């Protein structure tokens, strides 16, 4: 895998004819789309439409669910992620994930951020680790709030802070891609707006995929939007286009609040 | 207002088909009728819940009652064993027989000296009126058969002695002990009594002289088993039990935790995994004596390991405890939120790192509880230990894991089966020791649990 940065935004990630099954039930049907590098792409759609399942295909988190089967190709820089040659551990070090509910480890703030770099052996000594922790927390916009509380329990932080800590933890291992599964659904409006600002900041460094229930959020943070319905990708395009001139009736019905 | 509106709404829903079927149609009746009906039923419901609460209280009271009866019986039977009857005997110390040139006691000489004879002779001197051979023998039976040994230990402890006559307290025989504690009825027919009439006369004389006393029975806590109740103690059994349990924990805990982690995280779903799961669950219900038979056949028979050893006992108990800990560990692993597991996996932690770094530490309190339950079960287990020979009569405190030993519950079993009445109270005291052992173990578990428990 070539990690050199290509300055021309082109398809960093590609999904080709992705089908996902939970035992006998099919959750995704032939989803094909390409995702631009260093941009924010949002997946919207009603509950149960398969958008979270699709997101989890990108770092193979569906592997954890025994009944789940994924067919089709997911390409990162034109390498198939589902090929048996790809080690999920290596993959997840390149594609970080932030979950719906803030899930810090019940350890200190410092330990939460340091865990990823430690298991991957990214810091040679304590100074390097300190630097990684500080830098990640700064990038996640949390440093000012926690710099004097690094040794406090992470579970004592507020919900919004916990979620930003989870973002810091994900970026501490230096991934190319960040997957965010409804990162603000458990947060209040103020914490949500802080995270949204953060996402816009992070966009210059990471390719971000975000699943969201809030159409306003999709409109605010993303450049491209994909609308899913009942496991099908209905419409995919520039966020502006989708929200102002949707091509598909179903998309229009959803974003105008008629269904969903 | 509100109620009236609601009622009229409901009244509109009259259901003709139900009425025509002759069913009391409360659904479409007026609000008042319906409420009256519900209220009438409410009384019954309240009574039912009151009754249920009473049943609960009654059940708890019964349980507490039985527990009280159990504890009172054990304590009232056993507390007297904390004391041992001793008789004062004036003994002329055989200083020149046991001292070396430096005036210190020579252990070798002391061991070879006939202390038993000395005690008996000295005791007889206090009863010059007793002359016949038979009478003298019965007189000697008032003292413990091990009185000479006890005297030797007492004197050796002092390091050096001066010649002259001193008063020494030596242990009385178990029958005198029972008589002293009022556990022997002296009014019944002589043939039925273990202390005969002439012995009673001597006993009364000793009591009148004030040369008999009840002293703290330290032997009980410092000695192993003995044929004489007054020389028997539980230390050997406690050490044996502790050794066996150490082996049990060291074997069962790592094996069970690893097995549980594998079954939860790595086992590919399929028939084999299902089969193993069912068997682990069934194993928890296998009678313990079966494990004893297994230990006898495999550990002793096939591998030729030492008989009666705490090592083998611990191994057998570990087999027995294994399923309990596996089940508890799996349950507490499953209780760890999946979000933590996802977080670790999402960071690129391998499944093993996820388990060791995050899941097991969070599951530790539950694992610990399961282990303690398993160990407590193992501590009280008698049958499998009997099968591997830990029921043997062993008079030494075991010094290593391969020494012959017995265990506390087995010791209780042996004593409760003995003819001497003094063993009866000692087995009750040993039960108390077992309970104390158990309580202190559980207490440790609770403290450890508190320490490990993390707050979310």
Give the model's pLDDT for residue B18.
53
Give the model's pLDDT for residue A260.
58
* Domain A11-255: assigned CATH number: 3.40.50.300
Give the model's pLDDT for residue A8.
44
Please check the confidence at residue B15 and state whether its pLDDT lies above 90: no
Say whether B347 and A104 touch across the interface (CB within 8 A).
no
Give the model's pLDDT for residue B2.
43
Whether B343 and chain A come into contact, CB under 8 Å, resolves to yes
Chain B residues whose beta carbon lies within 8 Å of the beta carbon of residue A120 = 348
Please check the confidence at residue A67 and state whether its pLDDT lies above 90: no
Please check the confidence at residue B1 and state whether its pLDDT lies above 70: no
The nearest CA of chain B is from the CA of A124 a distance in Å of 18
Angstrom distance (rounded) from CA A197 to CA A185: 16
Please check the confidence at residue B19 and state whether its pLDDT lies above 70: no
**Euclidean distance between the first and the last CA atom of chain A, given in angstroms as a whole number:** 40
Give the model's pLDDT for residue A126.
92
The nearest CA of chain A is from the CA of B346 a distance in Å of 6
Average pLDDT (B202-217) is 92
Give the model's pLDDT for residue B103.
78
Nearest to A61 among B345, B350, B455 (CB): B345
Contact B410, B367 (CB under 8 A): no
pLDDT band at residue B8 under the 50/70/90 scheme: very low
pLDDT band at residue A4 under the 50/70/90 scheme: very low
Please check the confidence at residue A64 and state whether its pLDDT lies above 90: no
Whether B269 and chain A come into contact, CB under 8 Å, resolves to yes
Please check the confidence at residue B427 and state whether its pLDDT lies above 90: yes
The nearest CA of chain A is from the CA of B381 a distance in Å of 39
Give the model's pLDDT for residue B399.
92
Per residue in A124-173, pLDDT (tens digit) is 899 999 999 999 999 888 999 998 999 999 999 999 999 999 999 999 99
Say whether A89 and B456 touch across the interface (CB within 8 A).
no
Binding-face residues of A in 199-258 toward B, CB within 8 A? none
- Extract the tokens encoding B145: 């058969």
Say whether B346 and A90 touch across the interface (CB within 8 A).
no
The nearest CA of chain B is from the CA of A242 a distance in Å of 31
Please check the confidence at residue B448 and state whether its pLDDT lies above 60: yes
Whether A103 and chain B come into contact, CB under 8 Å, resolves to yes
B235-261 and B421-452 helices cross at what angle (nearest 10)?
40
Range picked from A237-246, B60-69, B104-113 for highest mean pLDDT: B60-69
Say whether A103 and B269 touch across the interface (CB within 8 A).
no
Average pLDDT (B181-186) is 88
Give the model's pLDDT for residue B5.
46
Give the model's pLDDT for residue B24.
63
Chain B residues whose beta carbon lies within 8 Å of the beta carbon of residue A96 = 346-347
Average pLDDT (B365-376) is 89
Query: Starting at the edge strand that comes first in sequence, how are the strands of the sheet with B212-216 ordered?
Result: B164-171, B83-93, B212-216
Please check the confidence at residue B329 and state whether its pLDDT lies above 90: yes
Chain B residues whose beta carbon lies within 8 Å of the beta carbon of residue A169 = 343, 347
Weakest mean pLDDT among B168-172, B182-186, B198-202, B353-357: B182-186
Per residue in B223-270, pLDDT (tens digit) is 999 989 999 999 999 999 999 999 999 999 999 999 999 998 888 888
Average pLDDT (B379-399) is 91
Say whether B358 and A166 touch across the interface (CB within 8 A).
no
Please check the confidence at residue B9 and state whether its pLDDT lies above 50: no
B307 φ/ψ angles, rounded to the nearest 5 degrees: -70, 155
Long-range contacts of B331-338 (CB under 8 A, 24+ apart): B331/B366, B331/B370, B332/B363, B332/B365, B332/B366, B332/B367, B332/B369, B332/B370, B333/B260, B333/B261, B333/B264, B333/B359, B333/B360, B333/B363, B334/B264, B335/B363, B335/B366, B336/B362, B336/B363, B337/A103
Per residue in A198-224, pLDDT (tens digit) is 999 899 989 999 999 888 899 999 999
Say whether A170 and B344 touch across the interface (CB within 8 A).
no
Chain A residues whose beta carbon lies within 8 Å of the beta carbon of residue B355 = none
Residue of A34, A44, A8 whose CA lies nearest to A220: A44
The nearest CA of chain A is from the CA of B447 a distance in Å of 20
Please check the confidence at residue B87 and state whether its pLDDT lies above 90: yes
Question: How much is the mean pLDDT over chain A?
Answer: 88
Give the model's pLDDT for residue B110.
86
Chain A residues whose beta carbon lies within 8 Å of the beta carbon of residue B337 = 103
Please check the confidence at residue B6 and state whether its pLDDT lies above 80: no
Task: Report percent pLDDT > 70 for chain B.
Answer: 94
Range picked from B19-33, B145-159, B288-302 for highest mean pLDDT: B288-302
Binding-face residues of A in 54-83 toward B, CB within 8 A? 59, 61, 64, 66
Nearest to A105 among B269, B343, B350 (CB): B343
Give the model's pLDDT for residue B420.
87
């Amino acid at each position: 895998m070539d990690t050199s940065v290509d300055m021309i935004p082109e398809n960093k990630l590609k999904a080709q004819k992705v089908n996902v099954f939970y035992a006998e039930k099919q959750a995704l049907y032939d989803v094909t789309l390409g995702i631009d590098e260093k941009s924010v792409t949002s997946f919207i759609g009603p509950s149960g439409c398969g958008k979270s399942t699709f997101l989890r295909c990108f770092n193979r988190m569906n592997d954890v669910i025994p009944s789940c089967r994924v067919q089709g190709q997911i390409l990162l820089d034109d390498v198939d992620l589902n090929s048996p040659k790809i080690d999920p551990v290596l993959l997840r070090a390149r594609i970080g994930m932030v979950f719906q509910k803030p899930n810090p480890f019940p350890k200190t703030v410092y330990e939460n951020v340091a865990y990823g770099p430690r298991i991957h052996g990214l810091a040679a000594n304590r100074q390097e680790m300190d630097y990684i922790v500080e830098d990640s927390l700064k990038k996640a916009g949390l440093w000012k709030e926690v710099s004097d509380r690094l040794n406090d329990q992470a579970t004592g932080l507020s919900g919004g802070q916990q979620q930003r800590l989870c973002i810091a933890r994900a970026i501490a291992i230096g991934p190319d891609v960040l997957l965010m599964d409804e990162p603000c659904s458990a947060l209040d409006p103020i914490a949500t707006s802080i995270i949204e600002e953060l996402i816009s900041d992070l966009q210059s460094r990471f390719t971000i995929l975000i699943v969201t229930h809030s159409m306003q959020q999709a409109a605010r943070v993303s450049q491209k939007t994909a609308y899913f319905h009942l496991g099908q990708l209905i419409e995919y395009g520039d966020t502006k286009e989708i929200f102002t001139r949707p091509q598909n009736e179903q998309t229009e019905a959803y974003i105008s609040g008629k269904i969903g | 207002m509100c109620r009236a509106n609601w009622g009229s709404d409901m009244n509109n829903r009259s259901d003709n088909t139900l009425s025509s079927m002759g069913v009391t149609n409360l659904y479409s009746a007026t609000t008042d009728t319906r409420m009256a009906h519900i209220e009438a039923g409410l009384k019954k419901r309240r009574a039912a819940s009151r009754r249920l609460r009473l049943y609960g209280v009654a059940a708890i009271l019964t349980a507490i009652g039985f527990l009280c009866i159990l504890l009172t019986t054990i304590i009232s039977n056993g507390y007297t064993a904390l004391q041992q009857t001793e008789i004062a005997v004036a003994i002329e110390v055989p200083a020149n027989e046991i001292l070396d040139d430096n005036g210190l006691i020579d252990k070798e000489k002391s061991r070879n000296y006939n202390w038993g004879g000395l005690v008996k002779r000295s005791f007889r001197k206090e009863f010059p009126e007793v002359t016949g051979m038979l009478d003298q023998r019965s007189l000697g039976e008032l003292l413990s058969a091990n009185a000479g040994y006890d005297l030797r230990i007492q004197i050796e402890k002092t390091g050096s002695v001066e010649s002259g006559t001193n008063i020494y307290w030596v242990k009385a025989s178990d029958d005198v002990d029972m008589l002293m504690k009022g556990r022997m009825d002296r009014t019944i027919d002589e043939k039925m009594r273990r202390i005969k009439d002439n012995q009673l006369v001597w006993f009364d004389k000793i009591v009148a002289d004030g040369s008999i006393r009840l002293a703290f029975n330290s032997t009980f806590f410092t000695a192993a088993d003995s044929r004489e109740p007054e020389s028997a103690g539980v230390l050997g059994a406690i050490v044996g039990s502790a050794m066996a349990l150490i082996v049990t924990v060291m074997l069962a805990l790592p094996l069970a935790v690893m097995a549980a982690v594998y079954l939860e995280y790595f086992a590919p779903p399929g028939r084999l995994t299902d089969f193993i799961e069912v068997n682990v669950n069934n194993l928890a219900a296998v009678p313990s004596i079966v494990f004893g038979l297994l230990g006898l056949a495999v550990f002793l028979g096939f591998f030729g390991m030492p008989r009666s050893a705490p090592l083998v006992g611990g191994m057998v108990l570990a087999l027995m405890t294994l399923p309990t800990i596996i089940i508890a560990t799996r349950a507490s692993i499953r209780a760890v939120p999946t979000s933590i597991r996802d977080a670790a996996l999402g960071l690129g932690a391998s499944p093993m790192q996820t388990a060791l770094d995050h899941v097991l530490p969070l599951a530790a309190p539950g694992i610990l509880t399961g282990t303690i339950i398993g160990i407590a079960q193992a501590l009280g287990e008698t049958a499998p230990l009997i099968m591997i020979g830990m029921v043997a009569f062993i008079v030494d405190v075991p010094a290593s894991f391969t020494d012959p030993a017995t265990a506390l519950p087995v010791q209780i079993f042996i004593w409760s089966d003995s003819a001497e009445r003094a063993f009866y109270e000692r087995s009750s005291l040993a039960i108390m020791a077992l309970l104390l052992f158990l309580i202190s173990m559980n207490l440790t578990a609770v403290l450890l649990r508190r320490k490990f428990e993390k707050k979310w």
